[in-house]
Structure 1
Amino acid sequence: MALGEIHEATAVGTTDLYYVDVEMYGTPGYGLVYILDAERPALIDTGTGYRYETVLEAMETVGIAPEDLDVIAPTHVHLDHAGGAHLLAEACPDAEVCLYEAGAQFLADPTAIWEGTKEVIGDRIGYYVEPEPIPEERLVELEDGETVDLGDHALEVHHAPGHAFHQAVFYDPANDGVFTGDAAGINSPHIDGVTHTSPPPGFDLDGCLSDIETLRDLDPAALYYAHFGDRETGDLLEKYETVLTDWVERVRAKRAELEDDEAVADYFAARADSADAWGEAHASEEERMNVRGVLHALDQRE
């Protein structure tokens, strides 16, 4: 993948679905925006906003003019998934911004999510655009179990709060696929299997395991990852359950050994197994963030 490349999602017979690479953090494939060419066209997730023009150009290539877009649907309001929502809403004047109800407040007034992102992301904030408020009349607050009707496709809303309390996954029955947000981890083609994502402050292991059960119950043929693209479901959910549980246990054990949280973060950041694929700086900072999320969750559990 590379910046601006458009790929057709084809996992297990998927149709009408494309994704464009906005090359988040300078890492090809890490940040994707999905374009569902339905009777009522939709974007799922938006990237950080840093290269939102790339999304508009991809829509035009697929054949969707900005004025024809009906839905912008972030899976959650972490700004790598929703940071471009205000820019795309401004460029697409008739599109509704549809998201799980708990996240709407952060797009109506993004001050808190922006400050929190700067604290967590550190130097990588240069790949983000400071979000501006989206008018409340443009926001559609979705409830668990609700369906966004796109004509020949649909987005069924399933609350998935383990990664973040404002996250939902969207199931499209026509494609038998789920837009996973971060509920199914990160499935990079450069890494053998699936890897963890556990950012502070909302990560909760038990909640994440429950979200995996939600995905199992849906039993989709395909998973549409916002990081690195579409995959046949296969045994990815089982793998993620094991990976996530083992990850939390490794962090817990290292904390008990070192008795210093910064030392724990440094330890794992220096050993990030995604460094060769994602670049050393991005991989190490991502791992440092993931460690802090686990440590915060462990503190909350105690």
Structure 2
Amino acid sequence: MLDFIDDLGHGIYAIDTGFQRPRFDAAFLIVEGGRAAFIDTGTNHAVPRLLAALNALGLAPEAVDWVIPTHVHLDHAGGVGLLMEALPQARALVHPRGLRHLVNPTALWLSALSVYGDEEMQRSYGKLVPVPAERADASHDEQVIHLAGRPLRLIDTPGHARHHHAIWDEKSRSWFTGDTFGLSYREFDVDGRAWILPTSTPVQFEPEALKATVARLLDAEPLAMQVTHYGRIGGSVGEVRRLAALMLDQVDEMVQAARTANLAPDRHAALKTALQQGYLARLRAHGHAADATAADWLAMDIELNAQGLEVWLDRSPA
């Protein structure tokens, strides 16, 4: 097996897309009866790895039936168009609020450009390739598709983004959660126990919607969550619930930090400081050293979470 592929069982593979740092951004491949589906793709730069993963598993590009981004943020969906060019039988299944942005990615590019800047866009994402409209479908809430008879259920999951859906796999009793169930990096595992934090990346963070989404995910009593950042977490219903409670506690803390920072002379700096202090304190309680290296690993998420919280503050009633 290639060193950037993790076999998660039940025919599910996490593919490290190579984005930012090792084991930071995953694309998932589900294989059933010789047929395959990708959930999230990473960026354009990930496409060679995704095709190499197919080859390593003895699958031809023609074996892929579905490409399903959880939402259209570029670390999840930036490579969809380019990947589809290599998969002649595949259809893209996209949240209805995101579909048009993959068919015509101009607005998507400009939105990301406003967050990351031109140099980072060119370095990390590359030119976006449109998905042909005739090969793309909009999902709907409680939609069920089949992969060689294996049911995959999609539900609408706002909170991180309004163009977000999650995918339930009954065979593994797990959700593919994109960013709605937060971020959980393997560098922060302690004695096999995962740690998690929310993501409020701009521009559609909605805390109450996110809480409702997490409650809906838990209603299925999942044994695990397949998170894009990064991999499979959980292992039991109880462990998934522990992680959910940890994440939702931090959502409340982040909202309070944003409201407090809103009164500061330099709101952005104050909010970043509060987020860093909160995350590192949580990590220490988890048993992690939470040192300067940990702060570096979290720096990009702290910046993006601060930006997203500020957008939420500016949109919220006074």
Gaps of 5+ in 1: none
Structure 2 residue runs without a partner (length 5+): 190-194, 281-289
Query: 1:266-293 CA distances to partner (integer Å, 9 max, x unpaired)?
Result: 535876748856783x632331121111
Which of residues 286, 290, 299 in structure 1 aligns to 2:314?
299
Deviation of residue 100 (structure 1)?
1.6
- Give structure 1 regions of 4+ aligned residues with deviation exceeding 6 angstroms: none
Residue by residue over 1:68-116, the C-alpha shift from the partner in whole angstroms, topping out at 9 and shown as x without a partner, is: 1111010100110000101110011110011222110110110111111
Where in structure 2 are the equivalents of 1:223-242 lying within 5 Å? 223-232=225-234, 234=239, 235-242=242-249
Query: Does the CA contact (< 8 Å) of 2:158 and 2:210 recur in 1?
Result: yes
Distance in 1, Cα, partners of 2:305 & 2:268: 12
What aligned pairs does 1:236-255 form with structure 2 within 5 A after superposition? Answer: 236-255=243-262
Deviations 1:199-219 (A, max 9, x none): 111111111111111111122
Instruction: Report the equivalent of 1:61.
Output: 56
Which of 211, 218, 230 is matched with 2:220 structurally?
Answer: 218
Cα gap change, 1:160 to 1:154, in 2 (>3 Å): same
Within 1, Cα distance between the matches of 2:273 and 2:243? 27
| CA distance, structure 2, for counterparts of residue 92 and residue 268 of structure 1 | 45
Selected match of 1:29 from 23, 26, 29: 23
| Aligned counterpart in structure 2 of residue 137 of structure 1, from 130, 134, 150 | 134
CA contact (8 A) 2:261 2:268 kept: no
Count residues in correspondence.
Answer: 293
Shift of 1:299: 2.0
AA at the equivalent of 1:137: E
Q: Counterparts of 1:284 and 1:165 in 2: how far apart (Å)?
A: 25
Counterparts of 1:73 and 1:132, CA distance in 2: 16
Q: Secondary structure at the match of 2:32?
A: coil
AA of the residue aligned to 1:22: T
- Name the CA shift for 1:208/1:231 in 2 (closer, same or farther; >3 Å): same
1:199–1:292: 8 Å Cα contact kept in structure 2? yes
C-alpha separation in 1, matches of 2:74 and 2:84: 15
Q: State the distance in 2 between where 1:113 and 1:96 align.
A: 20
Is residue 181 of structure 1 aligned with residue 178 of structure 2? yes
- Quickly say closer, same or farther: Cα 1:22–1:260, change in 2 above 3 A: same
Conserved 8 A contact 1:69-1:95? yes
Confirm or deny: 8 A CA contact 1:100 1:144 kept in the other structure. no
Q: Kindly provide the amino acid, as one letter, of the partner of residue 98 in structure 1.
A: L
Query: TM-score if structure 1 supplies the norm length?
Result: 0.90
Q: Which moved more, 1:197-206 or 1:145-154?
A: 145-154
SS at match of 1:112: helix
Aligned position for 2:286: none
User: Which range is displaced more, 95-104 or 184-193?
Assistant: 184-193
Instruction: Say which of 88, 93, 97 aligns to 2:83.
Output: 88
Please report the RMSD computed on the Cα atoms of aligned residues, expressed in angstroms. 2.1
Residue 270 of structure 2 is matched in structure 1 by: 264
